[in-house]
Chains A and B, each alone.
Chain A
Amino acid sequence: MSRPSVINIALAVLTLWLPRHALAADRWAIPPGQEAVLEKALAPTAAWPKGWTFTGANIDHGAIDARYRDPKGLGLGVRLQHPQYVGGPRQAGQFEIASISAELPDDVVAQIKVQLAKVPEFKWLPLHDREGDAATAEPADATGTAQAVNGVQARGDALIAANQADQLLPLLAQDKTIDCATRQHWVVGLIATQKPTLFGVANDLARQAPACPKAQQTVARWTATLGKPAQGEAILREVQQAGGDDPLVAVDLALLMRQQARCGDALAVLGKLDLAKVPGIASELARLSRIYIDCPDKAVLAAMRQRADAAQPDLIAAFIVGSILHHDGAWQESDTYLLRAEPLMKVEPREYLYRAMNAWHEGRQADAEQLVGHAATMGGTDPDVLYCRAMIFAERNTAQAIADLQAYDKAMAGTLDKTPGKQAHVSEILAELQACQGAKDLQRCRQLRQVSRFTVRWLPALVVLALGVFAVLRWRRRR
Chain B
Amino acid sequence: MNAATRLIDYAGEVPTGLAAQMTWWSPTDAGQFGVAALGLLLALLALPRVAVTVADTLRRLPRPYRRAVLVALGLALLVRLLVPARLVLLFSGYELVERSAVLTGVHRYGAGAQVLHRLLFLFLPPDHATLILLHRVTAWLALWPLLAWFARWRPPPRALVFAALGLALLPLLVRDAATESILVPGSLWLWSGLLLLDAPPDGQRAGDHWRAMVLVAAAALTRPELLIVAPVLGLLVVRRRGVRLTWPRAGLALLFLVLVSPQLWHTVERMLQDAAQGTNRLHKLFPLGPLAVVGSFLPFWPLAFPLAWTLLALRSLWRPTEQGAWRRQLAVATYLWVFALLVDLPQTSVPRLEAPLAALWLLLGAWQLAELPPLTQRWAGALVVLTTLPTLWLFAPTNEDDAEHFTRAALAQLPTEGACLVTLHESDPPDKGKVQRAFPDYLLRPPHRTAKRYAMAQWQEAGAPQCRAGTFLLIEHRCYAIFHHPVNAPALLPICTDTLAQHAWQPVLQTSAPNHGQNEYGWYPDVPAFQLGLYRMRP
Is the pair A449, B2 in contact by a Cβ cutoff of 8 Å?
no
Measured between beta carbons, the chain A residues less than 8 angstroms from B19 are: 435-436, 439, 445-446, 448-449, 452
Measured between beta carbons, the chain A residues less than 8 angstroms from B468 are: 89, 91
**Nearest-neighbor residue (CB-CB) of B418 within chain A:** A87
Segment 1-53 of B: residues with Cβ below 8 Å from A: 2-4, 6-9, 11-24
Our pick among B2, B4, B13, B22 for the contact of A399 (Cβ within 8 Å) is: B13
Could you tell me the distance in whole angstroms from the C-beta of B535 to the nearest C-beta in chain A? 16
Q: How far is the CA of A89 from the CA of B8 in the complex (A)?
A: 6
Q: 0/1 per residue, A416-450, Cβ < 8 Å to B?
A: 00000000000000000011111111101110110
Interface status of A104 (Cβ within 8 A of chain B): yes
Interface status of B433 (Cβ within 8 A of chain A): no
Q: How far is the CA of A337 from the CA of B16 in the complex (A)?
A: 44
Our pick among B6, B21, B539 for the contact of A107 (Cβ within 8 Å) is: B539
Q: How far is the CA of A113 from the CA of B418 in the complex (A)?
A: 14
Is the pair A439, B12 in contact by a Cβ cutoff of 8 Å?
no
Q: How far is the CA of A291 from the CA of B3 in the complex (A)?
A: 46
**Nearest-neighbor residue (CB-CB) of B18 within chain A:** A452
Q: How far is the CA of A419 from the CA of B453 in the complex (A)?
A: 40
Our pick among A88, A106, A114, A435 for the contact of B20 (Cβ within 8 Å) is: A435
Q: How far is the CA of A114 from the CA of B470 in the complex (A)?
A: 11
Interface status of A231 (Cβ within 8 A of chain B): no
**Nearest-neighbor residue (CB-CB) of B465 within chain A:** A89
Segment 383-440 of A: residues with Cβ below 8 Å from B: 398-400, 403, 434-440
Q: How far is the CA of A452 from the CA of B14 in the complex (A)?
A: 20
Is the pair A99, B17 in contact by a Cβ cutoff of 8 Å?
no
Is the pair B4, A109 in contact by a Cβ cutoff of 8 Å?
yes
Measured between beta carbons, the chain A residues less than 8 angstroms from B538 are: 107
Could you tell me the distance in whole angstroms from the C-beta of B277 to the nearest C-beta in chain A? 27
Is the pair B22, A445 in contact by a Cβ cutoff of 8 Å?
yes
Is the pair A399, B12 in contact by a Cβ cutoff of 8 Å?
yes
Measured between beta carbons, the chain B residues less than 8 angstroms from A439 are: 15, 17, 19-21, 23-24
Could you tell me the distance in whole angstroms from the C-beta of B12 to the nearest C-beta in chain A? 7
Q: How far is the CA of A114 from the CA of B9 in the complex (A)?
A: 17
Is the pair B4, A99 in contact by a Cβ cutoff of 8 Å?
yes
Measured between beta carbons, the chain A residues less than 8 angstroms from B4 are: 90, 97, 99-100, 109
Q: A110-B539, A111-B539 are in contact. Are A438 and B20 (CB under 8 A)?
A: yes
Q: How far is the CA of A444 from the CA of B18 in the complex (A)?
A: 12
Q: How far is the CA of A403 from the CA of B23 in the complex (A)?
A: 22
Q: How far is the CA of A441 from the CA of B25 in the complex (A)?
A: 11
Q: 0/1 per residue, A100-136, Cβ < 8 Å to B?
A: 1110111101110110000000000000000000000
Is the pair B3, A445 in contact by a Cβ cutoff of 8 Å?
no
Q: 0/1 per residue, A434-476, Cβ < 8 Å to B?
A: 1111111110111011001000000000000000000000000
Q: How far is the CA of A90 from the CA of B23 in the complex (A)?
A: 33
Our pick among A88, A100, A105, A437 for the contact of B13 (Cβ within 8 Å) is: A437
Which residue among B17, B466, B539 has the maximum number of chain A CB atoms within 10 Å of its CB? Answer: B17
Measured between beta carbons, the chain A residues less than 8 angstroms from B16 are: 437-438
Is the pair A106, B3 in contact by a Cβ cutoff of 8 Å?
yes
Is the pair A100, B2 in contact by a Cβ cutoff of 8 Å?
yes
Measured between beta carbons, the chain B residues less than 8 angstroms from A437 are: 12-17, 20
Measured between beta carbons, the chain A residues less than 8 angstroms from B14 are: 437-438
Our pick among B3, B17, B24 for the contact of A435 (Cβ within 8 Å) is: B17
Is the pair B23, A448 in contact by a Cβ cutoff of 8 Å?
yes
Could you tell me the distance in whole angstroms from the C-beta of B494 to the nearest C-beta in chain A? 26
Measured between beta carbons, the chain B residues less than 8 angstroms from A101 are: 2
Could you tell me the distance in whole angstroms from the C-beta of B236 to the nearest C-beta in chain A? 33
Could you tell me the distance in whole angstroms from the C-beta of A394 to the nearest C-beta in chain B? 13
Measured between beta carbons, the chain A residues less than 8 angstroms from B15 are: 436-440
Is the pair A89, B9 in contact by a Cβ cutoff of 8 Å?
yes
Measured between beta carbons, the chain A residues less than 8 angstroms from B17 are: 434-439, 445, 449
Q: How far is the CA of A439 from the CA of B19 in the complex (A)?
A: 8
**Nearest-neighbor residue (CB-CB) of A47 within chain B:** B539
**Nearest-neighbor residue (CB-CB) of A452 within chain B:** B19
Q: How far is the CA of A392 from the CA of B2 in the complex (A)?
A: 30
Q: How far is the CA of A11 from the CA of B511 in the complex (A)?
A: 49
Number of chain A residues close to chain B: CB under 8 A: 37
Which residue among B4, B14, B23 has the maximum number of chain A CB atoms within 10 Å of its CB? Answer: B4
Measured between beta carbons, the chain B residues less than 8 angstroms from A441 are: 23
Is the pair B11, A399 in contact by a Cβ cutoff of 8 Å?
yes
Q: A97-B4, A438-B15, A449-B17 are in contact. Are A88 and B23 (CB under 8 A)?
A: no
Measured between beta carbons, the chain B residues less than 8 angstroms from A436 are: 15, 17, 19-20, 23
**Nearest-neighbor residue (CB-CB) of B539 within chain A:** A110
Could you tell me the distance in whole angstroms from the C-beta of B529 to the nearest C-beta in chain A? 34
Q: How far is the CA of A113 from the CA of B8 in the complex (A)?
A: 14
Measured between beta carbons, the chain B residues less than 8 angstroms from A446 are: 19
Segment 28-67 of A: residues with Cβ below 8 Å from B: none
**Nearest-neighbor residue (CB-CB) of B25 within chain A:** A440
Could you tell me the distance in whole angstroms from the C-beta of A427 to the nearest C-beta in chain B? 16
**Nearest-neighbor residue (CB-CB) of A436 within chain B:** B20
Segment 69-115 of A: residues with Cβ below 8 Å from B: 88-91, 97, 99-102, 104-107, 109-111, 113-114
Could you tell me the distance in whole angstroms from the C-beta of A122 to the nearest C-beta in chain B? 18
**Nearest-neighbor residue (CB-CB) of B2 within chain A:** A102
Could you tell me the distance in whole angstroms from the C-beta of B359 to the nearest C-beta in chain A? 35
Measured between beta carbons, the chain A residues less than 8 angstroms from B12 are: 399, 437-438
Q: How far is the CA of A234 from the CA of B19 in the complex (A)?
A: 53
**Nearest-neighbor residue (CB-CB) of B9 within chain A:** A89
Is the pair B9, A88 in contact by a Cβ cutoff of 8 Å?
yes
Our pick among B6, B9, B23, B539 for the contact of A445 (Cβ within 8 Å) is: B23
**Nearest-neighbor residue (CB-CB) of A105 within chain B:** B3
Measured between beta carbons, the chain B residues less than 8 angstroms from A109 are: 3-4
Is the pair B2, A440 in contact by a Cβ cutoff of 8 Å?
no
Could you tell me the distance in whole angstroms from the C-beta of A74 to the nearest C-beta in chain B? 15
Could you tell me the distance in whole angstroms from the C-beta of B178 to the nearest C-beta in chain A? 32
Q: How far is the CA of A232 from the CA of B443 in the complex (A)?
A: 52
Could you tell me the distance in whole angstroms from the C-beta of A256 to the nearest C-beta in chain B? 41
Is the pair B23, A104 in contact by a Cβ cutoff of 8 Å?
no
Could you tell me the distance in whole angstroms from the C-beta of A17 to the nearest C-beta in chain B? 25
Q: How far is the CA of A88 from the CA of B21 in the complex (A)?
A: 27
Q: How far is the CA of A104 from the CA of B21 in the complex (A)?
A: 44
Q: How far is the CA of A437 from the CA of B17 in the complex (A)?
A: 7
Is the pair B24, A440 in contact by a Cβ cutoff of 8 Å?
yes
**Nearest-neighbor residue (CB-CB) of B417 within chain A:** A87
Is the pair B13, A438 in contact by a Cβ cutoff of 8 Å?
yes
Could you tell me the distance in whole angstroms from the C-beta of A406 to the nearest C-beta in chain B? 12
Measured between beta carbons, the chain A residues less than 8 angstroms from B539 are: 106-107, 110-111, 113-114
Q: How far is the CA of A244 from the CA of B130 in the complex (A)?
A: 70
Which residue among A106, A107, A441, A448 has the maximum number of chain B CB atoms within 10 Å of its CB? Answer: A106
**Nearest-neighbor residue (CB-CB) of B22 within chain A:** A448
Q: How far is the CA of A319 from the CA of B60 in the complex (A)?
A: 87
Could you tell me the distance in whole angstroms from the C-beta of A94 to the nearest C-beta in chain B? 14
Is the pair B23, A440 in contact by a Cβ cutoff of 8 Å?
yes
Could you tell me the distance in whole angstroms from the C-beta of B533 to the nearest C-beta in chain A? 21
Q: How far is the CA of A111 from the CA of B539 in the complex (A)?
A: 7
Q: How far is the CA of A399 from the CA of B20 in the complex (A)?
A: 14
Q: How far is the CA of A114 from the CA of B14 in the complex (A)?
A: 30
Q: How far is the CA of A442 from the CA of B24 in the complex (A)?
A: 11
Measured between beta carbons, the chain A residues less than 8 angstroms from B22 are: 444-445, 448
Residues of chain A at the chain B interface (Cβ within 8 Å): 88-91, 97, 99-102, 104-107, 109-111, 113-114, 398-400, 403, 434-442, 444-446, 448-449, 452
Residues of chain B at the chain A interface (Cβ within 8 Å): 2-4, 6-9, 11-24, 466, 468, 538-539
Can you identify 29 A-B contacts, CB atoms within 8 angstroms?
Answer: A89-B9, A90-B7, A99-B2, A104-B2, A105-B3, A106-B6, A106-B466, A110-B3, A110-B466, A110-B539, A399-B12, A399-B13, A435-B19, A436-B19, A436-B20, A437-B14, A438-B13, A438-B14, A438-B15, A440-B24, A441-B23, A445-B17, A445-B22, A445-B23, A446-B19, A448-B19, A448-B23, A449-B19, A452-B19
Complex A-B, nearest 6 residue pairs according to Cβ-Cβ distance, in ascending order: A110-B539, A438-B15, A399-B11, A435-B17, A439-B20, A89-B9
> Known contacts A437-B15, A438-B17; can you find 6 more A-B pairs with CB under 8 A?
A90-B4, A111-B539, A435-B17, A436-B20, A437-B16, A448-B22
